[in-house]
Structure 1
Amino acid sequence: MTRPAPLQTARVAWRHSLRFRLALVYTLVALALISVIGLGVMSLLLRQMDKQFQARLDERADTLAEAFVERGQGLGKSPGGTGIYTMILDEDGQVLAATPSLRQYEKAPFPFAGQNEVPLNGSPARTTTRKLKDFGTLWVALPEDALVDARQSATRALLLALLVTPALMLIVGWWVGRRALADLGEAADLADRIDPTRSVATLPLPAREDEVHRLLAALNRLLVRIEAVQAREKQLLGQIVHELGAPLTVLKASLARASERTADPEVVRAALVADELTFTTQDLMQLARGQLEMKVAWHFIPARTLRGRLDRLVPGITFTGDWGGMLLCDPDRLTQALRNLLANARRAAGPGGTVTLNLAETADHVTFTVRDSGPGLPPELGERIFEPFISGSGSSGLGLSVARQIAGIHGGTLTGGNAPEGGAQFILTLPGVALGDEEDESLETADSAS
């Protein structure tokens, strides 16, 4: 099966796309997981680094205190190494001695009392103290430059992951979703092309037996059941119409003879009702058979003949236009289509309303225009007015559907709407006929075959 055109696939907006929603959900989930896990890992890492830094500071302080007390080493020569600050305080809080970089605090009150972190030489430093027996107190400070750099690096890495990972997840998720749902998109395009008036086609199944495979298989089983139900409905409808046809034919003939013998208005009305039921059964039969089974018998007839038949079937119609020409059509089918339009118009206009049928002919088209003085078509129906069993005038809802089918098999069209001056308006257009030698010969062949 060929892949659908890009324009067909692009008809689904990205914000309504299933693969976009899936990619977005996975992206948000990934963002939440990365945030929680990243913050947890970073907090654990920084806590461990802080513990290691504190352990290093305590170790340096213990080593310095031990070296000063037991071995009597001076502050400037302590085994603590470089990059560490120390001061000796007496019992009164005076600085007795300090490392060279802190000599400005010697012989002065201790400035960092009670502070665990202090700024030294433009850098933060963490402090601790140790008792030196009778000598006083040892104050030790260790710069936190490495710890601060580690915190900043971890924070930058986490922010970068929170920015880059969702974007990558969205792109990858969109691509993976497009590949995974490609079979579903192709099935949707094929389903759009299924003609319900024909035999219902099944959708192709993907090779992978995943959720998409299960969905399409379920849809195929549903389509098979729908086709079986439609076949049973058409069969039942055909049987009902067949059972009604014979009694209605007898009833129509009896009422016609009775109306000829008497002028009783009730008999005339009953004859019109019998005509109405006869045409309704024809519409039902047409619905049961379907459009493809509708046969056309072409004849070349005077327009006045068609007008006379319509005048008898739907009394009270005003005919306008030029009815002096000839028409190439199936007289029975065209009469059925126009009769359906006129009957709906008469029903909508009411007893005191007007119904007009205008005929206009050009070299290319023959146009029948039906107008009524009724309230017009409900705007919410739109094109649904031509669907079976959809009615805006209280009828069975079959007439307009059958009339459009008849127009279609004649190579014409049927449109409906509201006239500018009010009321409903239906326009049935058939192709015009330019007669010549070849056309005359083909018409004679069609008439002889019929």
Structure 2
Amino acid sequence: MTRPAPLESARVAWRHSLRFRLALVYTLLATVVIGLVGVGILTLLLRGMDGQFQARLDDRAEAVAERFRDPEGTGSLGQKPPPISGYTAIVDEEGRVVAASAFLQLKLGEPFPYADQRRFPILGTPMRAATRPAGDFGTVWVALPEDDLVNARESATRALLLALLLTPGLMLVVGWWVGRRALADLSEAADLADRIDPARSVATLPLPEREDEVHRLLAALNRLLVRIEAVQAREKQLLGQIVHELGAPLTVLRASLTRATERTDDPEVARAALVADELTFTTQDLMQLARGQLEMKVAWHFIPAATLRGRLDRLVPGTTFAGDWGGMLLCDPDRLTQALRNLLANARRAAGPEGEVTLTLSETPGHVTFTVQDSGPGLPPELGERIFEPFVSGSGSSGLGLSVSRQIAALHGGTLTAGNAPGGGAEFVLTLPGPELGDEEDEAEIADHPEDTPIGAGAPAS
């Protein structure tokens, strides 16, 4: 089974990362909250400052008016008005200037230009005015400059805008860091889960110390993995029992048909013998699937390539053999025969009775390569590497042969790849490491007895 690439070599893109999405949502919410709170506080602050300014203006206007209403504090009439200062003016009932401070630069007797205005500029300075009755003198008009209030309002507004501009970047960095810390256990568990090979074992994931949502998720995944492992164990046990029950009668049937083929030339009997061989190899594939890849063993032998060719020619008649078959092979003969037989049977099935199936053997100092080509329609491009998964087939077979063949190639330290040949048809390439013998004495002994000398039973594939 093809294992997915680990997350260390194929990290999730930042724009698809849960950590980034959480940081982005955190940033947007923080910006909105800070904006609303800032606008509210700024509004209250400016209203308070405006109220204080208006109260100071009213107090000043009331104080000035009181001085004109009772200049000597005795309530007598006909007294001269007290001196005025600042932005102050006395306006009669007809709206003319009776008296004015020097800052206003107004002439006595002329119409008062700010009679109906509460906010206006004087010489570029923003002003706010208030009026109070001044008894027999008319109306007191008092103004105060608003430049300090305007500057405070502008400064507060700039501070709020600056906060709204800096907050998203700062919150995004903080949110990314917090999300990284909070999801560290989940990311580590994802890396470990990505390395789990169901064909070998279903290991549980380590749980974080904090019993939070991540702990609950990983605990649920562990329970699921335990159930999957139990189901796989039951399936393998059932499959092994079925194969065992089929193996005995198939062995007897195959032996009977083989003897019958030797006694008669009936083509129907020969065809039945080939079907028995097909069923026997299918049960072997099923047994291999039931045992699992870890339980596969190889018994190494040094054999002539011609011996392997003869076995394959009997198992898959009509195969064309090309290349140099006069050398020696270091392999498990039974396993390698099974792997190549599966490839040739699939090729024959795809090419049809009249098609061509070719097995080419080539050898280099470091590798031995078997190439199986057929004249069929080729492999479906949508399958890709899935062609080697169990029960996935592009030729109408059980879908087990290619999976078992790749496992056998891996146990020999080799590889099995699939593709389409340039001239059409499917092409499977099984590559094994070349034989590396020890000293010259071992080479001489093996050369004298090539077929009977085992290199080692159950040795590792590498």
Q: What is the TM-score of this pair, normalised by structure 2?
A: 0.88
Per-residue deviation, residues 336-364 of structure 1 (Å, max 9, x unmatched): 10111111111222233211111112332
Q: In the alignment, residue 68 of structure 1 is paired with which amino acid? A: F
Q: How does 1:418-433 map to 2 (within 5 A)?
A: 418-433=420-435
Q: CA 1:10 to 1:322, structure 2 compared with 1: closer, same or farther past 3 Å?
A: closer
Per-residue deviation, residues 211-251 of structure 1 (Å, max 9, x unmatched): 22222222222222211111111111101111111122222
Which SS does the other structure have where 1:112 is aligned?
A: coil
Which SS does the other structure have where 2:360 is aligned?
A: strand
8 A Cα contact 2:347 2:372, kept in partner: yes
Greater shift, 386-395 or 161-170, is seen at 161-170
8 A Cα contact 1:76 1:99, kept in partner: no
Aligned equivalent of 1:91: 93
8 A Cα contact 1:97 1:103, kept in partner: no
Q: CA deviation at 1:271?
A: 2.4
8 A Cα contact 2:69 2:136, kept in partner: no
Per-residue deviation, residues 258-277 of structure 1 (Å, max 9, x unmatched): 44444444433332222111
Q: Distance in 1 between matches of 2:389 and 2:306?
A: 31
Q: CA deviation at 1:172?
A: 2.2
Per-residue deviation, residues 374-426 of structure 1 (Å, max 9, x unmatched): 22222222222111112122211111111011111122211111111221111
Aligned equivalent of 2:75: none
Aligned equivalent of 2:36: 36
8 A Cα contact 2:322 2:358, kept in partner: yes
Aligned equivalent of 2:276: 274
RMSD: 2.5
8 A Cα contact 1:313 1:339, kept in partner: yes
Q: Distance in 2 between matches of 1:347 and 1:10?
A: 38
8 A Cα contact 1:75 1:97, kept in partner: no
Q: CA 1:22 to 1:390, structure 2 compared with 1: closer, same or farther past 3 Å?
A: same
Per-residue deviation, residues 58-77 of structure 1 (Å, max 9, x unmatched): 22222221211222687773
Query: Are 2:446 and 1:446 aligned?
Result: no
8 A Cα contact 1:377 1:418, kept in partner: yes
Q: CA deviation at 1:162?
A: 1.5
Aligned equivalent of 2:133: 131
8 A Cα contact 2:299 2:456, kept in partner: no
Aligned residues: 440
Q: Distance in 2 between matches of 1:426 and 1:219?
A: 38
Identity %: 76
Q: How does 1:41-440 map to 2 (within 5 A)?
A: 41-71=41-71, 77-78=83-84, 84-433=86-435, 436-439=440-443
Aligned equivalent of 1:4: none
Greater shift, 186-195 or 285-294, is seen at 186-195
Q: CA 1:92 to 1:434, structure 2 compared with 1: closer, same or farther past 3 Å?
A: closer
Q: In the alignment, residue 48 of structure 2 is paired with which amino acid? A: Q
Q: CA 1:418 to 1:110, structure 2 compared with 1: closer, same or farther past 3 Å?
A: same
Q: In the alignment, residue 13 of structure 2 is paired with which amino acid? A: A
8 A Cα contact 2:68 2:135, kept in partner: no
Consecutive unaligned residues in structure 2, runs of 5 or more: 1-6, 73-78
Q: In the alignment, residue 65 of structure 1 is paired with which amino acid? A: A
Q: In the alignment, residue 446 of structure 1 is paired with which amino acid? A: P
Q: CA deviation at 1:36?
A: 0.8
Aligned equivalent of 2:4: none
8 A Cα contact 1:75 1:86, kept in partner: no
Aligned equivalent of 1:3: none
8 A Cα contact 2:88 2:100, kept in partner: yes
Per-residue deviation, residues 317-347 of structure 1 (Å, max 9, x unmatched): 1111112222222221111101111111112
Greater shift, 225-234 or 433-442, is seen at 433-442
Return the structure number with greater helix share: 1
Greater shift, 424-433 or 177-186, is seen at 177-186
Q: CA deviation at 1:91?
A: 2.6
Q: CA 1:256 to 1:366, structure 2 compared with 1: closer, same or farther past 3 Å?
A: same
Which runs of 4 or more aligned residues in structure 1 lie more than 6 Å from their structure 2 counterparts after TM superposition?
A: 72-76, 447-450
Q: Distance in 2 between matches of 1:268 and 1:428?
A: 30
Which SS does the other structure have where 2:137 is aligned?
A: coil
Q: Distance in 2 between matches of 1:66 and 1:440?
A: 132
Q: Distance in 2 between matches of 1:76 and 1:272?
A: 132
Q: In the alignment, residue 205 of structure 1 is paired with which amino acid? A: L
Q: Distance in 1 between matches of 2:27 and 2:192?
A: 31
Q: What is the TM-score of this pair, normalised by structure 1?
A: 0.90
Q: Distance in 2 between matches of 1:426 and 1:399?
A: 13
8 A Cα contact 1:9 1:185, kept in partner: no
Which SS does the other structure have where 1:414 is aligned?
A: strand
Q: CA 1:9 to 1:268, structure 2 compared with 1: closer, same or farther past 3 Å?
A: closer
Q: Distance in 2 between matches of 1:424 and 1:160?
A: 66
Q: CA deviation at 1:135?
A: 3.2
Q: CA 1:35 to 1:434, structure 2 compared with 1: closer, same or farther past 3 Å?
A: closer
Q: CA 1:74 to 1:408, structure 2 compared with 1: closer, same or farther past 3 Å?
A: farther
8 A Cα contact 2:339 2:408, kept in partner: yes
8 A Cα contact 1:75 1:98, kept in partner: no
Q: Distance in 2 between matches of 1:75 and 1:153?
A: 41
8 A Cα contact 2:357 2:375, kept in partner: yes
Q: In the alignment, residue 187 of structure 1 is paired with which amino acid? A: A
Q: CA deviation at 1:124?
A: 0.5
Q: In the alignment, residue 225 of structure 1 is paired with which amino acid? A: R
